[in-house]
Structure 1
Amino acid sequence: MADVFGMALNDYQNGRYTEDIKTFSSLDEEDIIPVPYLFRTYDEMPKIEQKALQLASGKVLDIGAGAGSHALYLQNKGFDVTALDNSEGAIAVCKDRGVESTVKKAILDYSEEKFDTLLLLMNGIGLAGKLKNLSGFLHHLASLLLPNGQVLLDSSDIIYMFEQDDDGGYWIPDDGTYYGEVSFEMEYKGQKSNPFDWVYVDINTLQNACESNGFNCELVISGEHYDYLAKLTLKK
């Protein structure tokens, strides 16, 4: 499978930026991920991400680190932070940009160390893939937490992508699947990724899943477009 995400990051890092990553999803038409955005500074980050970085404490694992922008910010603030990503190209860019501790693995395959803060930004909970996987995903996160540790994650309620009727209800396909489940493909310079599953979890669904899996779930702030930052801690 082509590491299209990693290719795009490497091209940008090495001065070969000529186009953005195209995304194709089961929900809407073609969209793009602007590659420069993945290299954003703290000042360029949305408020939700800034707040998450302010709340980070102790030893940090940045899950799905991408180009390492969050990890770099925390490292420069003196944190012991590890950037984890399943993309070889992303990890190469993290190292190139100066991230000192990196791991090339999928989060579900990682169990080597425990942390005070797990960061799952840019809708990181989406890595669970489907709603039915959320319990197992939360259990795995719990296994990576030190005593009194926290998970900081953002996600979105994508209900706004469905048509609304006159009385305010939404037309959601009645096929038994959760409306936040999306299938994606990425394309960059003519190369396509394999399709992959991603899940956007609304806050109520997340809180219910946390309740069932031994976590407290606190809504920290809501963003400007159906997005939010949540803080998860293990129940005592």
Structure 2
Amino acid sequence: MGEEPIRHLPPDTDDAFGHLLSRVWNAECKPGRVFEIIERSDGFTGACDAAEYFALHKQWPQREQVLLAEARGRVLDIGCGAGRHLLHLQQRGLSVMGVDSSPGAVELCEKQSVPAQLGTAHDLPCDDASVDTILALGANLGLLGGREQSLVTLREWARVAAPGARVLATSRDPYTSKGKINTDYHQANREAGRMAGQLRIRIRSGALATPYFDYLYLSLPELRELLVPTPWRLHHVIEDTGGGYGVVLTLKD
């Protein structure tokens, strides 16, 4: 009679993202030591070097460097992670604040003397309309979540925005991701009444995993359509050949 097979347990749900960042920090932020695993709801997984969350300005994608040069006034970074964008802007003399849903991310920002608070893209810890620049870099335009959620989220961004404020954000066109596994996922989303590039993902770190959450990749025509009923308009686009892009949004008159 053979041995009973080992039972495979699902990962515990916890602050996996904060755990991931702390692992990188404790490894002195050196590349190739800690990898972020992103698991999609259909089981498809991807991995990237988590040291990118601590990358220096010169190592950032060109579109991020160009966009960040336009930051001014009081800056709010939504989904700030370890605070790399804010640290750069703080060194330029700007007033900065980060928001992240991960307690570990907020703690790491504070260790680097970058102010940050717990919050989400659709529930910001800000009481007044005093933000001049909102950042959603690192493809964090994806925090719009989906068609319905984007309206709530963009109205929330407008609530905290000062007159003349702008959003500096990056994303990617999901239709540049080829392969049957991706096109099948897009089709399944459409059949479920979701946007094709509306990912349901979670982040893994060791035995930990975040809860699943929606993260939106969308084409520029889809973005323009989503913005119509919101307080924002598309002012400027920076495209690259890999499917990624940057945008500047401004408040409508």
Say yes or no: TM over 0.5: yes
Q: Could you tell me the TM-score, scaled by structure 2's length?
A: 0.84
Q: CA contact under 8 A between 1:47 and 1:223: conserved in structure 2?
A: no
How far apart in 1 are the matches of 2:178 and 2:61?
24
Give the one of 17, 28, 47 matched to 2:62.
Answer: 47
Equivalent AA in structure 2 for residue 199 of structure 1: L
* Cα deviation, residue 219, structure 1: 3.2
TM-score (norm 1): 0.90
- Identity among equivalent positions (%) equals 27
In structure 2, the gaps of 5 or more residues are 1-12
- Tell me if structure 2 keeps the 8 A contact 1:19–1:189: no
Offset at residue 212 of structure 1 (A): 2.2
In structure 1, the residue matched to 2:120 is 106
For residue 133 of structure 1, the aligned residue among 133, 149, 153 is: 149
Count of residues in Structure 1 that have an aligned counterpart in Structure 2: 230
1:219 and 1:228 in contact (8 A); partners too: no
2:18 is aligned with 1:6:
yes
Shift of 1:16: 7.3
Letter in 1 for 2:67: A
Task: Note the C-alpha offset of 1:220.
Answer: 2.7
Q: 1:35 to 1:53 in 2, by over 3 A?
A: same
Which AA in structure 2 matches 1:147?
A: P
Q: 2:7 maps to which residue? A: none
How far residue 9 of structure 1 moved from its aligned partner, in angstroms, is 0.8
Residues 210-225 of structure 1: matches in 2 within 5 Å? Answer: 210-225=227-242
Instruction: Find the aligned partners of 2:235 and 2:28 in 1 and give their Cα distance.
Output: 42
* 1:235 is aligned to 2:234: no
- Distance (whole Å) between structure 2 residues aligned to residue 27 and residue 211 of structure 1: 31
What is aligned with 1:152? 168
In structure 2, what residue type is equivalent to 1:3?
D
Unaligned runs of 5+ in 1: 165-169
Larger C-alpha radius of gyration, 1 or 2?
A: 2
Q: Is the 8 A contact 1:67 1:91 kept in 2?
A: yes
Q: Which residue of 1 aligns with 2:92?
A: 77
Matches of 1:118 and 1:75, distance apart in 2? 14
